[in-house]
Amino acid sequence: MKKKLLLIVSMLAVTFMFAGCSASDDNGVKFAYNDQEIAQVAKDACETYQKYASADETYNYVVEAGSDAGISENEIEAVKSFRNIGDECGEFKDFTGEYKIAETEGNVIVTLYADCTEKEALIKVTFVDNSATYNLQRYQLMNQYGYSEEQADEALSSQGMYPYKSTDVEIAANMTFEDKMKAAGTNTLIGMATVFCVLIFISFIIYLLKFVPGFFDKEAKAVKKAAKKAAEAAKTEPVAETKAEDAGSAPAGQIVDIVKTETGESVMNDSELVAVITAAVAAASAGQNAYTTYPSKDKLVTRPIRRIKR
């Protein structure tokens, strides 16, 4: 039983080992290359682009008549990138000689390092498959001119032809740890400020929502205006007019409300009306040993106190 278990574990380990090796080796690159050779090709191409960009005459010629002169769009963009390298890194000095190679999505990316007056520059050159054209040229040299494989490879490399070709050239500043922290802090502050501004704007919108019903409810608005005008009129006209016929015909003890003859609105407030009603009740119940409590704004109630003799 132990031998079977050990055999199963060993088989699984070997399977995972081969799977890992195949995953690491198979990056989709279909052309053969040498690290030192492809780095040198990238450096030579970048030096050419830098020479074109440094002189005004050659730069204008490449930009204006590049396509007519057989220069590809990728090479024109590379020359423009070297022309604008001073915006981020300063004036170009020379390559440091260091490089880094990475494979991704079937392509090979060579990263070169260059010294500039302000910052170190990173130059990334992307190489793609060109093996079909290269093999065709190689076959012609070997069959038509009797070249050997080595002689054909040397002849093609001397002409600048390889199983790969460069497409894109990207230039950026090599950011140090201090630069990365500054950029991170700036992005954080901008993000927080944006969030606070948005929150303040949302709070202002919520505050304005309470005024929205007033724009649509015209009847309520008209009632409020009328009540406001009535209150102002009551303050400016303290002496109210009464209807003579109603006052003369009212029987004794009946409460007569004081109204305006123009608008028909009552000028008596609630406290005055309660006081009149209380006085009428007291007059009606006179002689019956009744007592009256009068309302007060300070919530005090007055009651009679009687002494009982024993």
Tens digits of residue pLDDT in 242-252: 444 444 444 54
The rounded distance, in Å, linking the Cα atoms of 45 and 75 is 9
pLDDT in the model for residue 100: 92
Question: 67-81, 163-177, 190-204, 260-274 — which one is most confidently predicted on average?
Answer: 190-204
177 or 67, which is more confident:
177
The dihedral over CA atoms of 244, 248, 250, 254, expressed in degrees to the nearest 10, equals: 90
Spatial separation of the C-alpha atoms in residues 222 and 216, rounded to whole Å = 12
Q: Specify the pLDDT at position 257.
A: 52
Task: Tell me 89's DSSP state.
Answer: T
For residue 20, the model assigns a pLDDT of 47
| Alpha-carbon gap, residue 306 to 292, rounded angstroms | 15
Round the average pLDDT of the chain to a whole number and report it: 77
292/298: higher pLDDT: 298
Residue 175: partners with Cβ closer than 8 Å, 6 or more residues away: 119, 183
* Beta-strand runs (E) in the chain: 92-104, 107-116, 121-129, 164-173
**pTM for this one?**
0.52
Overall average pLDDT of the 154-167 stretch? 90
> DSSP letters of 107-124?
EEEEEEEEEESSS-EEEE
